[in-house]
Amino acid sequence: MKIRIGYEIVYECPQPTPMILTLNIHYSRMNDVLLPDHLLTEPAVPLVAYRDGFGNWCSRIIAPRGDIRLYADGLVRDSGLVDDQAPGAPQIALQDLPEETLVFLLGSRYCETDRLSAEAWRLFGQTPPGWARVQAICDFVHQHIRFGYEFARPTKTAWEVYNERVGVCRDYAHLAITFCRCMNIPARYCTGYLGDIGITPVPGPMDFSGWFDVYLGGRWYTFDARNNVPRIGRILIARGRDAADVAMVTTFGPSVLRSFLVRTEEVTTD
């Protein structure tokens, strides 16, 4: 299968404003890229690309005063298969975890393990360790939160999501990640494209999506507390501890988001 992806984002800046942009397809999908999603700007500005501490592709620009349009289009080959499932995947004892996974056990900006640890053990301490425990966490979070774009808030943490019981996909991911870390399961935040492929189209505008990976049985597996079913056509952009590490656009100065459009669709013709 082929999936066309892209975006168009317009900001207004009252003064020249440095920005960090994390908008390119993740390097792990490079062999699948048929048409590169090169970041373009209007007006054209110098761009410096680099890879951050988590391996994500990022770009630095200085947006001029006035409007700046950020846009890209790409084409990706995909297997057409749903997310990998391994119900028998075991939980690795903490002392046996690889060192590179340990950072994903710690509390982070949006994932307050200290505030939710006791509640996590109360809710999930009797569940079987491993895949079944992560699935129990996803089931709980999926049922606990009511979805709505009107509930989005850039400062909302897992603790606040747990108590307010409303949010968007990143909030589902943050709460599930926090519970997993409290139960000694490494979990990392993921962001990318996820279109309505293989499902009934969902009303409302397309957006970037948030999900998470957990480390079980010696490898990382994808989970999605928002949808809570295996899905087709995830196109990863970035991974990190939480949404603070993978923000699409980080501005270092005042700015106003004027428009935001994301495209993700299966290409059905050659």
**pTM greater than 0.75 (yes/no):** yes
Residue with tokens 């090169």: 38
Give the separation between CA 176 and CA 158, rounded to whole angstroms.
8
User: Band of the pLDDT at 164, cuts 50, 70, 90?
Assistant: very high
User: Band of the pLDDT at 247, cuts 50, 70, 90?
Assistant: very high
Secondary structure (3-state) at 60: strand
Model pLDDT for residues 3-30, shown as the tens digit of each residue: 999 999 999 999 999 999 999 999 999 9
Within 36-157, residue ranges assigned H as helices are 113-124, 131-144
Looking at residue 215, its amino acid is Y
Give the separation between CA 152 and CA 99, rounded to whole angstroms.
34
Task: Report which of residues 139 and 202 the model is more confident about.
Answer: 139
Which domains does the chain show, CATH number per domain?
2-80+248-267 (2.60.40.2250), 94-243 (3.10.620.30)
> What pLDDT does 205 receive?
75
pLDDT at 265 over 70: yes
Give the separation between CA 70 and CA 15, rounded to whole angstroms.
17
Average pLDDT in the 242-254 region? 96
> What pLDDT does 233 receive?
94
Average pLDDT in the 63-79 region? 97
> What pLDDT does 75 receive?
97
Secondary structure (3-state) at 88: coil
User: Band of the pLDDT at 270, cuts 50, 70, 90?
Assistant: low
> What pLDDT does 76 receive?
97
Average pLDDT in the 200-228 region? 92
Q: What percent of the chain has pLDDT over 70?
A: 99
Burial class (CB in 10 A: 0-12, 13-18, 19+), 235: buried
pLDDT at 222 over 80: yes
Q: Does residue 43 have a cis bond before it (omega within 30 degrees)?
A: yes
Q: Which of 97-101, 143-147, 205-209, 227-231 has the lowest mean pLDDT?
A: 205-209
pLDDT at 201 over 90: no
Looking at residue 204, its amino acid is G
